[in-house]
Structure 1
Amino acid sequence: MIRITVPATSANLGVGYDTLGMAVSLHARFTFERTDELEITGCPAEFQNERNLVYVSFVDALEAWGEEPFPVRLHIETEVPVARGLGSSSTCVVAGIMAAAALTDRPVTREELVSIATAVEGHPDNVAPAILGAAVCSFTPEGELPRCLRYEVSDRLRFVTIIPPYEVHTSDARKVVPQEVPLSTAIWQMGRIAGITRGLESGDAELIAAANDDRLQEPYRAALIPDYEAIRETCLEGGAKTLWISGSGSTLMTVTDDTIVARFLQVRLRRHFPACETHILTCDTDGAQIEYL
């Protein structure tokens, strides 16, 4: 029996559309055991079958390695909400692939895990930090495997996370983003990506705030989140340095370098937005982990 723990992730980090992502301190835990018949617990009944994304990823990895799929007993315990922009699908994909390797005694590197998970997810912005931990900038050279640049995030930073009680589907969020942008917009983004990554490393919340001014996707996706403007105003008035949409939403994430500000802001948010779930998170630096039980 094995247990795999995978952190939630926040993709894009404002200006890093489809390139940046960060692992955060919410986790999903998956327990696997070989058995004679597939058994899945800990999730809604509609997913307790062979179409479960964890099991699909498990089977796909086995087949990619030339192994015959086999049934497992799978139990899921997760803190990561579904379809809220915190990488819930990536936790499932990563766990399935890692379990396939572990239960067949196949040695794999984190780089190989990122490559396989990227093939399943389509891009590495969530799966890379879920596997590697910390903040990651990813790109895939033509005809090559994904390249991942890992950035240690300062432990001074706190990420106050607001999760509204409604979904924003990735497919809808992608539809509203323009497929072509002016050269000036591309230039605007490039320098700010460097600013965000340096700010995360150094713990410079002022630098993060100055750099976090996206023109590629957030102005369009904000319209899909009814509470966006009200939450943003509440956060900035409450001492947060800046705010971004986590992944495709609906989760919003703010940044502060002061734990007291983070606590007071969480109280303020719970009072003004009682239907929203709020957390004070740190960056997860470990990434996906596996243990034998």
Structure 2
Amino acid sequence: MKILVPATTANLGPGFDCLGLSIGLFNSTIIEKSNFFSISIYGEGSESLSLKKNNVFVSIFNEVYQRLSGKKDTFRFIFENKIPLSRGLGSSSSVIVGAIGAAFEMTGFKVEKQKILNEALKYENHPDNIAPATLGGFVVSVVENENVFSIKKSIDESLSAVVVIPNVPMSTNQSRAALPINLSLKECVFNLSHSSFLTACFLEKKYDLLTIASKDLIHQTRRMKNLPELFEVQKCALENKALMSTLSGSGTSFFNLVYKEDAKYLKQQLEQKFKDFKILSLEFDNKGFEIC
């Protein structure tokens, strides 16, 4: 079997740990029953010995497979990774969702996306990345009684993503360490109102209001200080036709949403100014993970 899982961008500014969307950049994994265990990695992480020795995908897959089937079979895994590691584009969520979905498929259980999403919550305790990786599109999620409740909106074909990927990684734990323990009432109200407004903008296709809706007071500025060039990335994007420009997840990547006809121009402007960063123009994904 083969499973494809998309990259994701989370938070979208004010929607800390609850908003996310799915981007058309995929990790694919081929899994075959075998007489002996083997693992091959191509693309992102191909030179990492730790990914071959302590592969999280393999660990989660085996754990779920054995729980569902009651058997300890051996498999060959072939990974082709296009999602950058530790850049805030959902690489860890793609691993979690992919491993669980593949385990359900290989044991013959029906692959129900809601069930996969609830299983994924056991490995990642907030749904902002795992929900769009599972469902695709723009997704709003809440967690109640260890279950994820999500509302998905497909993203218009008139929109594109322009993603800025710095050459500096950032772990989620490192990035979260920059956040305060306490927040003011003003900061909380600001983010609640902007997160609600941003959701309404996507649901009602009021994309020209996203520049206002995507503002944040809780996490972005604090995290961006770890790589000050990101302030210039955001400024450049918003001055060159981006509808919104937000830190992708915990960083260091920056996500820019733009009308499709403006994507090439924005990409060129960013490439001219940030020559050491990778700039990708990508479609959105409205399907979530797929089993081929």
Question: What is the TM-score when the length of structure 1 is the normalising length?
Answer: 0.93
The equivalent residue for 1:120 is 123
Offset from partner CA, 1:58-101 (integer Å, 9 cap, x none): 01212443622322111111221000000011111111111111
Amino acid corresponding to residue 185 of structure 1 in structure 2: E
Query: CA separation in 1, counterparts of 2:239 and 2:51?
Result: 44
Amino acid corresponding to residue 32 of structure 1 in structure 2: I
Asked if the contact 1:153/1:202 (under 8 Å) is kept, the reply is no
Query: CA separation in 1, counterparts of 2:51 and 2:11?
Result: 31
CA 1:73–1:200 in 2, change beyond 3 Å: closer, same or farther? same
Partner secondary structure for residue 15 of structure 2: coil
The equivalent residue for 1:40 is 39
CA 1:125–1:211 in 2, change beyond 3 Å: closer, same or farther? same
The equivalent residue for 1:103 is 106
Offset from partner CA, 1:27-62 (integer Å, 9 cap, x none): 111110011111111233514545201101101212
Higher mean C-alpha deviation, range 157-166 or range 147-156: 147-156
Alignment of 1:138-287 (within 5 A): 138-141=141-144, 143-257=145-259, 259-287=260-288
The equivalent residue for 2:15 is 16
Higher mean C-alpha deviation, range 194-203 or range 86-95: 194-203
Amino acid corresponding to residue 266 of structure 2 in structure 1: L
Residue ranges of structure 1 left out of the alignment (5+ in a row): none
Per the TM alignment, residue 185 of structure 1 is displaced from its structure 2 partner at its CA by 1.9
Partner secondary structure for residue 121 of structure 1: coil
Higher mean C-alpha deviation, range 57-66 or range 99-108: 57-66
Amino acid corresponding to residue 37 of structure 2 in structure 1: L
Per the TM alignment, residue 236 of structure 1 is displaced from its structure 2 partner at its CA by 2.1
Query: CA separation in 2, counterparts of 1:251 and 1:45?
Result: 21
Amino acid corresponding to residue 35 of structure 1 in structure 2: S
Amino acid corresponding to residue 105 of structure 1 in structure 2: G
Taking only the aligned residue pairs, the percentage that are identical comes to: 27
Query: CA separation in 2, counterparts of 1:7 and 1:48?
Result: 19
CA 1:106–1:138 in 2, change beyond 3 Å: closer, same or farther? same
Partner secondary structure for residue 116 of structure 2: helix
Please report the RMSD computed on the Cα atoms of aligned residues, expressed in angstroms: 1.6
Amino acid corresponding to residue 61 of structure 1 in structure 2: V
Query: CA separation in 2, counterparts of 1:11 and 1:45?
Result: 26
Per the TM alignment, residue 238 of structure 1 is displaced from its structure 2 partner at its CA by 1.8
Query: CA separation in 2, counterparts of 1:231 and 1:159?
Result: 14
Asked if the contact 2:68/2:107 (under 8 Å) is kept, the reply is no
Higher mean C-alpha deviation, range 211-220 or range 186-195: 186-195
Question: What is the TM-score when the length of structure 2 is the normalising length?
Answer: 0.93
CA 1:45–1:190 in 2, change beyond 3 Å: closer, same or farther? closer
2:71 paired with 1:74: no
Query: CA separation in 2, counterparts of 1:66 and 1:273?
Result: 50
**Equivalences, count:** 288
Query: CA separation in 2, counterparts of 1:48 and 1:82?
Result: 11
